[in-house]
Chain A
Amino acid sequence: AQRVTQPEKLLSVFKGAPVELKCNYSYSGSPELFWYVQYSRQRLQLLLRHISRESIKGFTADLNKGETSFHLKKPFAQEEDSAMYYCALRSNNNDMRFGAGTRLTVKP
């Protein structure tokens, strides 16, 4: 069975500082990894997926199969990045599993 671990429940950084939200996974097959974000009073929404290799709102995430990680990074955090971030894994049979989430606070 797949499992997603986000070791940090809370993360606080100052505006302009780099930020890294950690995500580790366990899955015997070939995973598809995602980051979802939930801003205050808004719906959960997709931020990025590893297969797209894209940068969204300055965030990037690289799938490291050797370390089974998919950490989310941004070089210069902004106050509007404050939100709840969830890492998710989709298995070959389309089951989605989410991590417990990390609440990011970017202080002015």
Chain B
Amino acid sequence: GAGVSQSPSNKVTEKGKDVELRCDPISGHTALYWYRQSLGQGLEFLIYFQGNSAPDKSGLPSDRFSAERTGGSVSTLTIQRTQQEDSAVYLCASSLRGGKETQYFGPGTRLLVL
């Protein structure tokens, strides 16, 4: 079956514009994670969805960042009024039930804010 998919694969935007990044998890996976991978910064946790529970938003860097997960499947990460420091690769991962389950990563969306 298909793995985690993300779109777009690359996004170039101008400072101040809003962007939406999409993640399609593996079918049946109830847990979904967003991370940011910046040069020299490693992987930064952003947000975690588990089933119908309230998401863990503790990693979101500012109120310009938000994420939704509709119907327990597809997730959208929205960055409002983008800044140059938002430039990074945004990774999505899913796992069967969260907890002890292995996370499977998508290919990422490379965002460049000019």
Contacts and interface: CB of A to CB of B under 8 A. Distances in A.
Interface stretch (A13-21, A38-46, A74-82): A38-46
Nearest to B59: A95
Interface string A40-61: 0001111001010000000000
Nearest to A93: B56
A95 B102 contact: no
Interface in B67-98: 91, 93, 98
B66 interface: no
A94 B48 contact: yes
Contacts of A93: 56
A45 B105 contact: yes
A93 B107 CA distance: 26
A27 to B, nearest CB: 14
B5 to A, nearest CB: 11
B26 to A, nearest CB: 12
Nearest to B93: A44
A78 to B, nearest CB: 23
B91 A32 contact: no
A31 to B, nearest CB: 13
Given A44-B91, A96-B33, A86 B42 contact: yes
